[in-house]
Amino acid sequence: MPHDDRSSLIPLLDRARSGEASARDELFARCRNYVALIAQTRVESWMHAKVDASDLVQQTLLEAFRGIEDFRGETDAEWLAWLRKILAHNTNDFIRRYRTDKRAIGRERPLATTNPDQSRAAGIEPADPGKTPSQILADHERDIQIADAIARLADDHREVILLRNMQRLPFDEIARRMDRTRPAVQMLWMRAIRKLEELLNQPRS
Amino acid sequence: MTTPPPDRGHEPDEDAGSPTGFDEHEQRLFEMLDEYVERGQIDGSKVESPESYPELPGLLDCLSSLESLAEVADPRPPAPPEFGQTLIWDATDGDDSPARHGSSTFHLEDRPFGPYRLIEQIGSGGMGVVYKAEHQSLRSIVALKMIRSRQLATAEEITRFYREARAAAGVSHPNIVAVHDVGEYDGHHYLSMDYVEGQDLDSLLRNGPLEPDRAAEILTLVARAADYLHRQGVVHRDLKPSNILLDTDGRPRVTDFGLAKVFDTDDSQTRTGTIIGTPAYMSPEQASGKASAVSPLSDVYSLGAILYEMLTGQPPFRYDNPLDTLLSVIESEPTPPSRLRPGIPADLERICLTCLEKDPERRYPSAGALADDLQRVIADQPITLPATSWWHRLARWIRREPELVSRCLGIIPAATIIQVNYHLSNDINVVDHTLVMLALLLWLLVAVTLQKLQNRLSAPRLIPAAWCVADATFFTLSVAFGARQPIELLMIGYPALIVASGLWFQVRLVWLMTAVSLVGFDVLLLTSLAPNTPRQYPWMYAAALIAIGAIVAHQVRRIRILSDLFERRSG
């Protein structure tokens, strides 16, 4: 994609809002990995089960695409917060459907009960993703960059980073989920971080 | 020692906390990275030879970026807000939550930041993180405040931030922390201020209250600084101990003035109901969200709250959750400082309580007038405040001790009526009459005692329950002793007590009151009920009491739900 990784989304956003189709496509292409990563993090941590988040991402981007005229913000922060809000809304729907699907619950429950870190998950509606005050110095371009880099990792590297860094699970739990030994996931994690750092610092070809 | 079975040979030792496949170097690197993920920082002194880990900074940077993204994707459960932290939230827009200092701060020490080099983090608050920093070319040490990007989300807010910062830069006063520079680097808005060596008043007060003279001295200087700001057209809006720095000579310097306004509302904006300030030090007009009513006199209130805390060691109103604190700021009267700590000069107490008046008109007309009176106290001269009128004192007492006042309003008229009736009729047994009057007197004495206990610094948690039990008991006793048939009309007392218990806003107290009322009613039933009462009536009455208890409890639960919602929004 012919763009500078560190640039603001705003010029693109302005062009997209004025109806330029190619700008819309590029804007959503740039945000896709970001939305996907957040969707994966949230869906996984609320359900403690592997669920393919791609429907959620598709739905979110589609709604954002249709509603882009309604977006009134003027900064990257507002744009990404808007995307997260749509995503949160869809996630809630998704979780509600998931919960009412008795069959799915019956099948998935045993996974949840053994999770040691479910204090903030069980039965609570996910918080609005816009409410994340602790991000001391948010750097939105960097966030998008990281999401892109994670998307380019190998599957097991992506999974271990998702579980360890995004969902902050302890290594024991990650080992259980990935069906490997604890030392093995620790080594995998080290390699994944190294690889990620490499991808971040190497200019995109 | 036995050799592991060959079919499990590929599985490393499960018990080891460390990956056995790592060599020592890798192992150490893993530990450092893991520590960084767990704690948000690593202890630099533990890294024996940083040069042997050339990849470490890059990896840490990578982890830090991951953490900030994880915070967006799935926020950590927030740490409870520190008391005294400034709240900034919006009553209409769910996206604007209070600024909090999360558990996962990533440190930026020793990094270049525009023209500055960050030395160490010295604080973090509602609006951002403060670093001690050095101007790289001037070599001067400053306090660099980085504004959280979320706090300046819109172009409008950024414009206001710069406008306020420029106004602040034009201010020069020995008791005010000067602003030098405002700008943006790498997407972060910052402002640089005098670096004040010393501590803030908040940390000083953690060691306990100050001597009254010292408190008066500090507040005089702070009030003069506030007065200077007011004359420059700046209202501080968030005066509190943590915004008052004490330099190494103990001289106070006010900081963060006017900045609250950047995040505040004005009528032209769509946001409404934003509450700015720190509940414990906030004036009632700020607490009730009347942004337009905020004036220099709101700062005078906050000065009074700071004086109160310097004298007593606690702010005038302090509760576990912001809702109760806000309600008290709006409704109730602080306990006079001298009751919490003996030896506070009466004049100083009057000054303090005058600042804390609910009605801005009753406070000092300006921070300067307050400073003048404080100086008179220090110089042992009479202050200018007029004597407090008796009805104003009465009004204060009603606001301060509503529990006792309401009992007095019930018991004293009841006793008067009974006494008058005793003189008018001549067939009342003198023993019965004395017993009733004694019960009422005892009720009053218990009420006074409970109120005294409640006023104490460490009031026992059971006091509200004690009020409930005492009320039901003494009401039952009075009716039982004074009972002249028929007593049914007096039974109205129990529903009244149950409804009143709802004012504690605690569901379990409502049920407690319902239970003790039922017991009391049972006692009256056995001792005093008219023999010809139809058998089903007492059952119906008891059922009605339970129904009233259920209704009141339900209402209280609803209010609690709203309060919890409010608390979650405010952190």
Chosen from B13, B22, B72 to mutate, greatest number of chain A CBs within 10 A: B72
Contact call for A133 and B72, based on CB within 8 A: no
- Amino acid identity at B146: M
Q: In this predicted structure, what is the pLDDT of residue B471?
A: 93
The reply to whether residue B68 touches residue A187, judged by beta carbons under 8 angstroms, is: no
Containing B101, the helix (H) or strand (E) segment is: none
Task: Spell out the CATH class of A114-205.
Answer: mainly alpha
CA A25, A29, A31, A32 dihedral sign is positive
| B34, B61, B65, B69: best to mutate for the A interface, most A CBs within 10 A | B69
Cα first-last separation, chain A? 9
Contact B72 A135 (CB under 8 A): yes
User: Domain segments of chain A: what residues?
Assistant: 1-112, 114-205
Q: What is the number of other CB atoms lying within 10 angstroms of the CB of residue B449?
A: 13
User: Other C-beta atoms within 10 Å of B385: how many?
Assistant: 15
C-alpha angle with apex A134: B561 to A157, nearest 5 degrees?
A: 115
Cα–Cα dist B443/A10, whole Å: 71
Distance from CA of B29 to the nearest CA of A (A): 9
Q: Decide if A78 and B12 are in contact by the 8 Å CB cutoff.
A: no
**A44 phi and psi angles, rounded to 5 deg:** -65, -45
Q: What is the pLDDT of residues A94-119, one digit of tens each?
A: 766 666 654 444 343 333 333 333 33
Q: Which residues of B touch A194 (CB under 8 A)?
A: 55, 59
Cis peptide before B486 (omega within 30 of 0): yes
Task: Report how far Cα B527 is from the mean position of its chain's Cα atoms.
Answer: 49
Helix axes of A182-201 and A171-178: crossing angle, nearest 10 degrees: 90
Give the minimum alpha-carbon distance from A163 to chain B in angstroms, rounded to a whole number: 11
CA of B53 vs chain A CAs: smallest distance (Å): 13
Angle between helix axes B536-570 and B322-331 (nearest 10 degrees) is 100
B85 Cα to chain A: minimum distance (Å): 14
Alpha carbon distance B565, B571 (integer Å): 10
Q: Which of B305, B182, B335, B300 is nearest to B242 (CA)?
A: B305
CA distance B553 to chain A (A): 25
Q: Are B37 and A192 in contact (CB under 8 A)?
A: no
The chain-wide mean pLDDT, for chain B, equals 78
Q: Which of A139, A143, A187 sits opposite B19 (nearest CB)?
A: A187
Closest partner residue to B104 (CB to CB) among A38, A41, A134 is A134
Let me know if B238 is a catalytic residue: yes
> Is A142's CB within 8 Å of B78's CB?
no
Contacting residues of B for A136, CB less than 8 Å apart: 68, 102, 105-106, 124, 128-129, 146, 148
CB B257, CB B229: distance < 8 Å? yes
Which phi and psi (to 5°) does residue B144 adopt? -105, 120
Flag if A197 and B55 touch (Cβ within 8 Å).
yes
**CATH number of this structure's domain A1-112, picked from the four choices 3.30.930.10, 1.10.1740.10, 3.40.50.1000, 1.10.3720.10:** 1.10.1740.10
Nearest CA in chain B to A195: B59
Low-confidence stretches of chain A (pLDDT < 70) are 1-7, 44-52, 95-139, 203-205
Six-digit token string for B250: 């103990």
Q: What ipTM does the predicted assembly reach? A: 0.72
Q: Which residues pair with B179 in a beta bridge?
A: B193
- Residue tagged active-site, from B96, B194, B200, B238: B238
B189, B161 Cβ separation under 8 angstroms: yes
Question: According to the model, what pLDDT value does residue B99 have?
Answer: 32
Compute the distance between CA of residue A127 and CA of residue B77 in angstroms, rounded to an integer: 10
Q: Could A183 and B69 be called an inter-chain contact, meaning their C-beta atoms sit closer than 8 Å?
A: no
Q: Would you state the pLDDT for residue A1?
A: 40
- Residues of B within 8 A of A184 (CB-CB) are 12, 19, 21
Tell me if the pTM is above 0.95.
no
Position of tokens 């670093």?
B131
Q: B154 contacts in A (CB within 8 Å)? A: 73-75, 78
Which pLDDT score is estimated for B520? Answer: 93
> What's the confidence (pLDDT) of residue B86?
44
Residue pair B137/A126 in contact by the 8 Å Cβ criterion: no
Of B463, B467, B513, B465, the closest CA to residue B493 belongs to B513
* Positions of chain B with pLDDT lower than 50, given as ranges: 1-19, 77-107, 263-276, 570-571
Q: Does A22 touch chain B (CB under 8 A)?
A: no
